[in-house]
Amino acid sequence: MPSTDPARPGGRRRPLILSASMGAGHDTVAAELARRAVAYGHEPQVADVLRLLPYGLGGGLRRSYQASVRHFPWAYGGVYGAFLRGGRGPRPSGVPLARLAGDRLTELVERLDADVVVSVFHLAAQLTGHLRARGRLRVPSVVFLVDFAVHRQWLHPGNDQYLCLTDGAAAEVRRALGRPAVTTGPAVASVFRAAAPGAARWREHFALRAPGRPAVLLSAGAWGAATGPEDTARLLTGAGYLPVVLCGRNPRLRARVSRVPGALALDWVDDMPGLLSAAYALVDNAAGQTAVQALAAGLPVIGYRPLPGHGVDGARRMSALGVSELAPDGPALLTALGRLTENGPDRAERVTRGRALFRGDPMAYVAGV
């Protein structure tokens, strides 16, 4: 729980939260941590670690990642396998790239008078660990590991503490680094766990669009990156569902999905709590923030055609935890959806397991470092 810091009036802290503008997931987590910090009476600041990289490297990294997951997911899978997934023998490290932002981060910490740095992106974790290990970052470094699957670029022994989504992830961190790691569960805004005022409006919209057809959401992330969403939409329509494809900020994807008879293509959605509360299930491809928001809202999640790399690993981990199901093909997807009947035992168990992930408040641990 938050501790009292005699150096600041009333124990007020000044956390610097390091995010990354890679889609919207990391920024969403950073914003929620900042909101909770303010609720505790602290003074948070949020920074994009990509903007701390010199020579425009951060923007280049973002554009290359966006292009690969949208158009060449197999290429991103190769990068993930080489740089992020563990393996025998020497493996490439993220430290050489991360340390290019070292001077800018230490200057920012000093200028903001930050007394703890919280990383919610793996490159930031490499940077803070590197600086702490060399004595250049003089305030504690906490890593909020927001992925279900722990890949090696999250891990650096220089960081002071890790906050993890699951007990398994925390145990992996402790084994790999010998550093403190605790389980907090995801950080999701409280509106996802409360009654959603917008749900009725969404249900009315679905009923007018496709009477009697349960609405199944298909998530493509903020960048609209998905494998064969049109084919999945046709599969669901043929099985009696209303496929609602979340196209993010990808107008080309929305245009393609809009041509599928019986499908509903949405661009960026502001009322996610209402939408999730009105749907029958979420078909997810990344095991990211949309998935954990769905779990918080009590919406069953099915992994299908996950993105290569972290998407595949995350979907497998979620399935192993029993908070979702990973469908290997179209028939398996329809079978999984068929088991999730309203008020049925499979649905109730899945909802209970999903909500049980939310065990603590990461910002409470940050305030106590």
What is the model's pLDDT at position 88? 59
Task: Report the distance separating Cα 306 and Cα 201, nearest Å.
Answer: 30
- pLDDT, one tens digit per residue, over 61-96 is 888 878 887 777 777 787 777 777 766 555 567 788
SS3 per residue for 301-352: EEEECCCCCHHHHHHHHHHHHCCCEEECCHHHHHHHHHHCCCCCHHHHHHHH
For 305, the token pair is: 């055609």
What is the model's pLDDT at position 310? 85
Task: Report the distance separating Cα 148 and Cα 97, nearest Å.
Answer: 24
Mean pLDDT of 54-60: 90
Task: Report the distance separating Cα 329 and Cα 361, nearest Å.
Answer: 36
Task: Report the distance separating Cα 317 and Cα 225, nearest Å.
Answer: 21
Task: Report the distance separating Cα 146 and Cα 144, nearest Å.
Answer: 6
- pLDDT, one tens digit per residue, over 180-224 is 999 999 999 999 999 999 999 999 999 999 999 999 999 998 888
Q: Which option is the CATH number for 9-183: 3.30.43.10, 3.40.50.2300, 2.30.42.10, 3.40.50.2000?
A: 3.40.50.2300
Give the residue range(s) of CATH 3.40.50.2000 domains in the chain.
190-355
What is the model's pLDDT at position 94? 76
Q: pTM for the whole thing?
A: 0.92
Does the domain made of 190-355 have the CATH classification 3.40.50.2000?
yes
Q: What is the DSSP string of 221-275?
A: TTTT--SSHHHHHHHHHHTT-EEEEE-TT-HHHHHHHHTSTT-EEE---S-HHHH
Give the residue range(s) of CATH 3.40.50.2300 domains in the chain.
9-183
- pLDDT, one tens digit per residue, over 311-328 is 899 999 999 999 999 999
